[in-house]
A = this chain, B = another copy of it.
Amino acid sequence: MADAHSLDALTDALRRLPGVGAKSAARMAYHLLQHDRAGALQLSVALSHAVEQVQHCELCHTFTEQRVCSTCLDPARDRSQLCVVETPADQAALERTGAYRGLFFVLMGKLSPLDNIGPHDIGLQKLFDRLGGVHLAVPDMVFPPVQEVILATNFTAEGEATAHVIAQALRDSGLQVTRLSRGVPVGSELEYVDLGTIAHALVDRRNTLG
């Protein structure tokens, strides 16, 4: 395929997708050109359109095409609660539970010293500014100071470190700062749950009589 430079360029570009190596990229390029040229053009347009349109919500930092996302603007949401997550995918998972009616703040990352990602890179200052309350001019809308910050970063080393740093920074703020509970997943059998999880479930055990 020495004389199909645009095919090589396509394969190289596909390799920039996360989790796609040389063989997968070649297979994708082959599939698109042989079986789905319409899909290739659709993807091309979707990519340039998304890069052009998608920005960050001024309040919660998630992806949106507006200045402020529809979740933040929703008057039915409880503005006294702010749930801090790492990514829009985590936010979507919480939304799907239907168990949360407060607002979000999306870090768009997590602290990761090994990758040189510090507090500045994940917009912690933006989070702290948000906590004090915001007044939007257009549309005219007031977001009072937050009363509870729910830390819902992942239960990985980086996610725990991120939650810890935020909690420490808010130690003297007078805010209620909570963390999602650790414990045994619903539907699982103790025999197959890892020991660390069982240990945490023991430490965080709750009084069932109320």
Contacts and interface: CB of A to CB of B under 8 A. Distances in A.
Contact of A6 (B7, B28, B50, B62): B50
Interface string A137-149: 0000000000000
A71 to B, nearest CB: 7
A4 B65 CA distance: 5
A172 interface: no
A173 interface: no
B1 A16 contact: no
Interface of A is mostly: helix
Given A1-B92, A28-B18, A10 B63 contact: no
Interface size class of A (residues with CB under 8 A): 35 or more
A132 interface: no
Interface string A151-191: 00000000000000000000000000000000000000000
B41 A2 contact: no
Contacts of A71: 2
Given A9-B49, A17-B32, A28-B17, A3 B44 contact: no
A71 B4 CA distance: 11
Interface of A: 1-7, 9-10, 12-14, 16-19, 23-24, 26-34, 36-37, 39-54, 62-66, 69-71, 87-89, 91-92, 108-109
